Structure 1
Amino acid sequence: MSLVELIADADERGLTVSGLACLDRCVSLLGGDDEILRPLWAGLADGSDAEEWATRLEQARVKLNAEGTADAVDPAAPAPTSPASAESEATFLARRMLVDAPAIRSAAGVREWADACSVAALRIHRLLDASASASAADAASVDSCREGRTEGISPLVSAELRRQIRVLELIASHGSGGLRQALAVSTEGRRVLRAVVSRRARGRA
């Protein structure tokens, strides 16, 4: 099944895990460490109620802002039309994932968020891919690969696509029992993206 089909078929838990995993892989762009979203993962594992999810989500937002890792973002603000760099746009997209995370985990709300996170995470990997420049065509390529047309996509984007698919498959097959493996998939992706950002920074030095 394509990524689009998997998202369409996922239940509320699968969608929440999918969105959280995308954010988790990209949280280093906001300066977050490996543990900053762990309470949200733990809440999904122990079956915490919706109120507890909202509390832990707000704590993550406050911690990132308080540590100076993410500026306060107006949820209604449009994306920058001419960002100063690929890094600045990638950071903006990561911030939007955090800002737009629903405090109330309704099926409709988390479906919209998970879908947006999927696109944003793929777009981030495309932006930070040193082998290609970002263009209007790149957005179309992200949509195409989500629909299963993967010809010509870069290894970095391809790997992120596989991770998104794997996370959804794990939760669909194993429910909450797949959370540990989903977290491991996300952790691997976070390390990959952190290494990519580090290499780009060294290249500019």
Structure 2
Amino acid sequence: MTSATSTGLLELIDRADERSLAAAGLACLDRCLPLLAPEGAEVLRPVWAAVARGDGGAWGEAVGKARAALEGAGDGADGVVTLVRAMLDGLPAEWAEGPLREWAARCSAIALTVHGRYDANEDGPLHAGELRRQQAVLEAAAHGPTGLRRARELSTEGGRVLRAVVSRRARTA
């Protein structure tokens, strides 16, 4: 990741409010979660709904249910699955700027690492696309609930791209 693009992403994270931070971290997790649990995206729907409402109580409840539903997914695995598991395990139940900012920044770094592992080199097209998506998610989420639809669309698109790359690699291995 180039210094200018990494700085731009970090600045967006630094300026983000709770809803944007929750959306940013959740979008990273959403894109990568199928590597850990193929049904993972469905499990995150209530968490997305809590982000849309900006409701801390609903957020905490949805996070608890998602964790319970995905308990044991990826256990004993290593590599990329362990990285994705770390995103899920770090998901804060508290709707507060500090924990959400820390989690969003960590998810950002992990998602970029995951995408980089499937590229020919660290700054390849998959990694660059993930960086652009992360920036676009933060920019969209800054527009409140109306921007969350775009953030989810970007997340869904990115998840499809990553799954296609992983599938292609598995077929050619």
TM-score scaled by structure 1?
A: 0.76
Cα distance in 2 between the residues matched to 1:157 and 1:2:
15
Structure 2: 5+ residue runs without aligned partners?
A: 1-6
Q: What stretches of structure 1 of length at least 5 have no aligned partner?
A: 73-86, 133-137, 139-152
User: 2:135 corresponds to which residue?
Assistant: 165
Other-structure match for 2:35: 29
Question: Retained in 2: the 8 A contact 1:31–1:64?
Answer: yes
Q: Size of the alignment, in residue pairs?
A: 166
Q: Over residues 26-82 of structure 1, what are the superposed CA-to-partner deviations in whole Å (9 max), with x where a residue is unaligned?
A: 0101123232211111122234x32221221121112122xx53328xxxxxxxxxx
Indicate yes or no: 2:151 matched with 1:182. yes
Q: Letter of the aligned partner of 1:61 in structure 2?
A: R
**Taking structure 1 as reference, are residues 88 and 198 closer, same or farther at Cα in structure 2, changes over 3 Å only?**
farther
Q: What amino acid does structure 2 have at the position aligned with 1:53?
A: W
**Residues of 2 paired with 1:42 and 1:171: CA distance?**
13
> Aligned pair 1:201/2:170, yes or no?
yes
2:75 corresponds to = 71
CA distance in 1, matches of 2:32, 2:62: 18
CA RMSD of aligned residues (A): 1.7
Q: State which of 43, 57, 64 in structure 1 corresponds to 2:50.
A: 43
Q: 1:15, 1:114 within 8 Å by CA — same for their partners in 2?
A: yes
Matches within 5 A, 1:24-173: 24-33=30-39, 34-47=41-54, 49-65=55-71, 69-71=73-75, 88-129=78-119, 131-132=120-121, 153-172=123-142
Contact kept, 8 Å, 1:28 with 1:194, in 2: the verdict is: yes
**CA distance in 1: counterparts of 2:172 and 2:67, whole angstroms:** 31
- Aligned position for 1:9: 15
**Contact 2:92 2:99 (C-alpha < 8 Å) held by counterparts:** yes
Deviations 1:1-47 (A, max 9, x none): 71011111111111111000000000101123232211111122234
Higher helix content, 1 or 2: 2
Amino acid at match of 2:38: G
Contact 1:30 1:64 in 2 (8 A): no
> What is the identity, as a one-letter code, of the residue corresponding to 1:24?
D
- Asked if structure 1 preserves the Cα contact closer than 8 Å seen for 2:50 and 2:56, the reply is no
Q: Distance in 1 between matches of 2:135 and 2:22?
A: 14
